[in-house]
Amino acid sequence: MCEEHSKLFHAYQEAVALFSTTLNARQATLVTAPRDEYPRMTEYVEQARLASEDARAELNRHITAHGCRPHFGAATNSASS
């Protein structure tokens, strides 16, 4: 695995972790948050989701273009791409 692949893989992992954190935080606060906060919380989750999809796509493009072998369990699901 090349240095760029490693960098992209770690960026993808971080993006997925952020998405998971924002989603969990939104779910945990739905009961206690004021209703007018829902759209803002939902937007944060959506931004994190899109960032994780972008990071996955960038990693997959690199794997395809450079021929790097993906990590076990890496972002290679082409069904949603």
Q: What is the mean pLDDT of residues 36-54?
A: 94
pLDDT for position 31: 84
* Spatial CA neighbour of 53 closest among 14, 15, 24: 15
pLDDT at 77 over 50: no
Contact 51, 18 (CB under 8 A): yes
Q: How confident is the model at residue 80 (pLDDT cuts 50, 70, 90)?
A: very low
Contact 26, 45 (CB under 8 A): yes
Q: How confident is the model at residue 22 (pLDDT cuts 50, 70, 90)?
A: very high
* Spatial CA neighbour of 53 closest among 79, 16, 18: 16
Q: How confident is the model at residue 71 (pLDDT cuts 50, 70, 90)?
A: low
pLDDT for position 30: 82
- Residue in the structure block whose two tokens are 């273009």: 65
Contact 21, 71 (CB under 8 A): no
